[in-house]
Amino acid sequence: MAMIQPSFSFSHEFTYDVFLSFRGTDTRNNFTGNFYKALCDGGVRTFIDDRELHGGDEISPSLVKAIEESRIFILVFSINYASSSFCLDELVHILHCFKANGCLVLPIFYDVEPSNVRHQTGSYGEALAKHEERFQNNSEKDKNNNMERLHKWKMALNHAANLSGYHFNPRNNGYEYEFIQQIVRFISNQINRVPLHVVDYPVGLQRQVLKVYSLLDVRSNDEVKVVGIYGPGGMGKTTLAKAVYNFIADQFECVCFLHNVRENSTKHGLEHLQNDLLSQTVGFEFKLRNSSEGISTIKQRLQRKKVLLILDDVDELKQLQALVGGLDWFSVGSRVIITTRDKHLLASHGIDVTYEIRELNKKEALELLRWKTFKGKQVNSSYEHVLKRAVNYASGLPLALEILGSNLFGKHIEEWNSLLDRYERIPNKGIQKILKVSFDALEEDEQSVFLDIACCYKGYHLKKMEDMLRAHYDGRCMKYHIGVLVEKSLVKICRLGNVTLHDLIEDMGKEIVRQESPKKPEKRSRLWSNKDIFKVLEENSVRLI
């Protein structure tokens, strides 16, 4: 069977990097002209419009097309911007694209106060009053249409003026050249962002990306949203978060992907993570003395910025409190994605929009394993049976399929069967290490209950299992212990009330018990293998409790 790499692209194709909206008579021959040249000199594909030179009363279809094919919009609000119906119609269409697609809109207030734009006072109030007076002289039908148009202009001006941007007064703010270079550097950073490497063969990923994208509701810019992705280790939470990041990063003013929060928090402390967050979003290093100072700095610096923040592998509430303490830390339109093994951690921080990552289905798992083991080459039909055996062993866990694929690459069928035989007896250490992180984070009683389930009670109805274990544990705590195991993504309660867990998580639990005494099963805390049980009973070496 020939292999074809799947099509997976979450990138947008744009004709222009930047669309400049400005009042030509105000700034074409000074600020905007210089700004346009600096952008072009920096390799930024920039659309600049000459519509006002050609007259007419409506924006042309070609201009609409240019707006829709642009990645970033820069609005140069100058003294007479609002006197142009062209500029105002253009602004309305730009903000329509902003709401529909979440593209970055960057206002520059050139020799005008942002409050004048926001509240339509000063020259902006005067210009809109003149438009209204002009519309009053229209026919009744045109008057109604134009008054609606006027209302849209006012709403658009208010909306745009509330976005994070730049303010420059040519009399007080120093050299215009330095101001222009500051913005050009920012734009260059935006368009030169390098996508994160996700995976070489992203089978099964697209459907999950689109589900998370739907939960994020990126097109809505009236609030901050936080989405939690949870599930066992090795299931692909980080991979999913990276793919979502690449899909939507262009729609944000600042982006930050904090990898391995659990590990880096332990090694370097919360201040290190806060510094990393600020460095990625603001653009320079801070010397934070403690996490409290970091909290104040993050809130102060990012409160008016539309941010995409991804916290990968979070395992403690204090990490969330230090990095994304409240929704008011960021501007409306911001999005935060958190990956964790612990669903309860998300609830503890008030995050109620969550996505439970799913294992690959059999078809996807088989496709991925074929790719990893044969690298796109023709697969001999004699391998079909052992491929399916390997897929059944992995039980849809992407990590297991990756490790199996690497270990089985270039091997003969006999070697495949031999390796799978060994893994079924003694699980792969790489898989075990990742899965065991959640177990190690449990309290002693919860670890014990988990091992009971993994070794002896998988498939039992929850109530029956609780009744059987009540004698060994405080009966009042059993529901709590089970709840913790569910929240940590170690066990699941099926719709009918049966307790189950992923096959490889079950193997991980059994291997923990086996390692208590690899050679002498009678010294282990639990027995589940008929062979071991018969051996121990025959030797009369078991002590019943």
Residue 5: which pLDDT band, with cuts at 50, 70 and 90? very low
Please name the residue that has the structure tokens 């703010």. Answer: 173
Are 100 and 249 members of one domain? no
Is 92 inside a domain boundary? yes
Write down the pLDDT at residue 382.
87
Q: What is the CATH number of the domain that holds 467?
A: 1.10.10.10
Q: What is the CATH number of the domain that holds 130?
A: 3.40.50.10140
Percent of the chain at pLDDT > 90 equals 54
HSE at residue 47, side-chain half, CA atoms within 13 A, is 23
Phi and psi at residue 418, in whole multiples of 5°?
-65, -45
Percent of the chain at pLDDT > 70 equals 94
Q: What is the 3-state secondary structure (H, E, C) of 203-254?
A: CCHHHHHHHHHHHHCCCCCCCCEEEEEECCCCCCHHHHHHHHHHHHHHHCCE
Residue 220 identity? S
Rounded Cα distance, 63 and 44, in Å: 19
Residue 10: which pLDDT band, with cuts at 50, 70 and 90? very low
Write down the pLDDT at residue 495.
84
Residue 101 identity? N
Does residue 497 come out as left (phi exceeding 0), alpha (psi in the -120 to 50 range) or beta? Answer: left
Which residues contact residue 399 at a Cβ distance below 8 angstroms, ignoring those fewer than 6 apart? 233, 234, 235, 236, 430, 431, 434
Mean pLDDT of the chain: 88
Write down the pLDDT at residue 214.
92
Parent domain of 72: 16-191
Given a cut of 80, whether residue 202 has pLDDT beyond it is yes
- Residue spans of alpha helices (H) in 283-426: 291-302, 317-323, 343-348, 362-374, 384-394, 398-408, 413-425
Are 213 and 342 members of one domain? yes
Residue 452: which pLDDT band, with cuts at 50, 70 and 90? very high
Write down the pLDDT at residue 103.
77
Residue 302: which pLDDT band, with cuts at 50, 70 and 90? very high
Residue 491: which pLDDT band, with cuts at 50, 70 and 90? very high
Given a cut of 50, whether residue 1 has pLDDT beyond it is no
Report whether 223 contacts 244 (CB < 8 A).
no
Are 370 and 352 members of one domain? no
Rounded Cα distance, 13 and 235, in Å: 31
Report whether 228 contacts 215 (CB < 8 A).
no
Which residues contact residue 58 at a Cβ distance below 8 angstroms, ignoring those fewer than 6 apart? 89
Q: Across the chain, how many H-helices and E-strands are there?
A: 25, 12
Given a cut of 60, whether residue 8 has pLDDT beyond it is no
Is 254 inside a domain boundary? yes
Residue 121 identity? T
Given a cut of 90, whether residue 104 has pLDDT beyond it is no
Are 43 and 24 members of one domain? yes
Is 545 inside a domain boundary? no
Residue 498: which pLDDT band, with cuts at 50, 70 and 90? very high
Write down the pLDDT at residue 51.
54
Are 255 and 389 members of one domain? no
Mean pLDDT of 36-56: 79
Are 121 and 22 members of one domain? yes
Mean pLDDT of 380-409: 89
Is 397 inside a domain boundary? yes
Mean pLDDT of 215-242: 92
Is 544 inside a domain boundary? no
Given a cut of 50, whether residue 232 has pLDDT beyond it is yes
Given a cut of 90, whether residue 218 has pLDDT beyond it is no
Report whether 274 contacts 294 (CB < 8 A).
yes
Report whether 256 contacts 309 (CB < 8 A).
yes
Given a cut of 90, whether residue 242 has pLDDT beyond it is yes
Is 74 inside a domain boundary? yes
More confident residue, 431 or 543: 431
Mean pLDDT of 348-365: 94
Please name the residue that has the structure tokens 């719709």. Answer: 495
Q: What is the CATH number of the domain that holds 273?
A: 3.40.50.300
Are 404 and 366 members of one domain? yes
Residue 58: which pLDDT band, with cuts at 50, 70 and 90? low
| pLDDT tens digits, 510-523 | 999 999 999 888 89
Which residues contact residue 22 at a Cβ distance below 8 angstroms, ignoring those fewer than 6 apart? 28, 32, 75, 76, 78, 81, 87
Given a cut of 80, whether residue 539 has pLDDT beyond it is no
Rounded Cα distance, 165 and 209, in Å: 30
Task: Measure the N-to-C terminal CA separation of the chain; round to a whole number of Å.
Answer: 56
CA distances from 466 to 237, 479, 510 (A): 31, 8, 20
Residues labelled catalytic: 90
Write down the pLDDT at residue 7.
39
Is 197 inside a domain boundary? no
Q: 425, 450, 480: which is the final residue of a domain?
A: 425
Mean pLDDT of 431-456: 92
The 3-state DSSP class for residue 278 equals helix
The two structure tokens encoding residue 230: 């949870």
Given a cut of 50, whether residue 13 has pLDDT beyond it is yes
Q: 386, exposed or middle or buried, with CB in 10 Å at 0-12, 13-18, 19+?
A: buried
Domain count, the chain: 4
Is 332 inside a domain boundary? yes
Are 347 and 444 members of one domain? no
Write down the pLDDT at residue 3.
38
User: Which residue in 371, 489, 364 sits closest to 437, CA to CA?
Assistant: 489
HSE at residue 263, side-chain half, CA atoms within 13 A, is 7
Write down the pLDDT at residue 535.
83
pTM of the model: 0.69
Phi and psi at residue 473, in whole multiples of 5°?
-130, 165
Mean pLDDT of 276-304: 89
Are 382 and 346 members of one domain? no
Are 178 and 299 members of one domain? no
Are 341 and 367 members of one domain? no
CA distances from 156 to 90, 159, 162 (A): 10, 5, 10
Phi and psi at residue 412, in whole multiples of 5°?
-80, 165
CA distances from 40 to 29, 79, 175, 243 (A): 16, 25, 20, 31
Q: What is the 3-state secondary structure (H, E, C) of 2-51?
A: CCCCCCCCCCCCCCEEEEEEECHHHHCCCHHHHHHHHHHHCCCCEEECCH
| pLDDT tens digits, 114-128 | 999 999 999 999 999
Residue 6: which pLDDT band, with cuts at 50, 70 and 90? very low
Q: 377, 405, 425: which is the final residue of a domain?
A: 425
User: Which residue in 98, 72, 79, 68 sits closest to 23, CA to CA?
Assistant: 79
Q: 191, 224, 254: which is the final residue of a domain?
A: 191
| pLDDT tens digits, 142-201 | 778 888 999 999 999 999 998 878 999 888 767 889 999 989 988 888 887 778 889 888
Rounded Cα distance, 272 and 83, in Å: 49
Look at 164-173, 365-374, 487-496 and tell me which has the smallest mean pLDDT. 164-173
Are 343 and 367 members of one domain? no
Report whether 447 contacts 488 (CB < 8 A).
no
